[in-house]
A and B are shown apart, each in its own frame.
Chain A
């Protein structure tokens, strides 16, 4: 799908505006260096995550389809999603509407109530990682590497939704494109047999016993293979493995301190972008010791800006 243009519709998703702002910041900076234009779809809404589909199907598909309709109406042919859950939902709505005419008719009837319409397949929905390796390509990425990640051992964690349930070329259980990308940046990629196992998803919120065991397995597996860090492509995976790592340690009597970074953060560091600009320091389990191995200084945590120096940081209307 490499085209002449290098401009894309961009659907950041809710997480990139909050829990995964490091992913959003690093994506923007890396895109800039690579000369890619990411045009944020105006007025996009939440994709419903893994929750809306549990309540009612037609509203769930319609919620997602509003984004597809807006993106197409705004002139995009391709829409890039960095979040694996958004990617899955956007793609699933498009594919299901294309495959099931009755569903398509109902969803479009709902969209019509808001003056919108969507023709299935008028938008090509892609994950950011796929776009990076397919359109930009390993060679071009290698050309931009000024500070290779030599000496850094990374476990490449794909999670679930970027590779399943799609069946269009990438191995659903043992993909390699993130591994190759990390090698391109100069990192040493360790074997990681659990690379597409589940991080627990929303279970960290509703059943810690279930979620923490899944997280423990992943950390244990990465540690077994000597990884300095785990690299991820999904805000949910990052949050679960990073923010809950201390609680997982407490539950199992372990003492893992494995930083969890987004692949775009490592691309940024390898491109020589200052660590702060790619969201370093936002992680709960500090990446500073691991990054010390490749000559990056310890970072102060990135703090949100006070909107007004005098006022207290109260919720804004």
Chain B
């Protein structure tokens, strides 16, 4: 893909990749989003600031921000935004663009999402036991002892299955996701 010359500005791509994203043009910079955010204190830039940066096409700075990765998807910002901007959905867009461009912050949790989705693509269902062991062994090996204690309790109470559930028609789901991924690459720009 010889995209460099034909690529639209970052801000346009952000809006185009988000259903309802063009409402971003009406951002008042009021800061209600950041003020409503439960993980605001952990973010290096609030959503308000990220939107100003996006509007200035500061692509790399936006994608390297840790803010989207601290979004807990609680939608407080979205329901409180006076301009009805789908802020939570824009955080997902920033995450997707960061993963696609490989430009993400060390604090990002892209591989958590990727591991989680890997199991869905294999079994059609989530698999918490596999996710917990794989992700935590690579990321927090020192916390594993504590987590293992909880894991045993969960297994004992029948709350953690050690073998994954699977759906019957995996070939159908695979066909759908394969086609969906193809469609996603053909028109993202």
Contact = CB atoms under 8 A, between A and B. Distances in A.
A14 B126 contact: yes
A2 interface: no
B101 to A, nearest CB: 13
Contacts of A113: 175-176, 178-179
B159 A19 contact: yes
Nearest to B76: A164
Interface stretch (A48-56, A184-192, A253-261): A48-56
A200 B39 CA distance: 9
A172 B81 CA distance: 13
Interface string A196-230: 01101111011111100010000000000000000
B7 interface: no
A57 B155 CA distance: 34
Nearest to A99: B19
B176 A46 contact: no
Nearest to B177: A59
Interface string B34-76: 0000110010000000000000000000000000001011111
B75 A57 contact: no
A243 B128 CA distance: 14
B73 A160 contact: yes
A197 B157 CA distance: 28
Contacts of A302: 157-158
Given A14-B165, A52-B113, A210 B42 contact: yes
B126 A46 contact: yes
Interface of A is mostly: loop
Contacts of A116: 172, 176
A66 B173 contact: yes
A203 B176 contact: no
A211 B102 CA distance: 26
Contacts of B114: 55
Contacts of A20: 159
A175 interface: no
Contact of B167 (A44, A206, A316, A317): A44
A143 B128 CA distance: 39
B181 A18 contact: no
Interface of A: 14, 17-21, 43-46, 48-59, 61-63, 66, 96, 99-100, 103, 106-107, 109-116, 160-161, 164-165, 167, 172-173, 197-198, 200-203, 205-210, 214, 243-244, 247, 281-284, 301-304, 313, 315-317
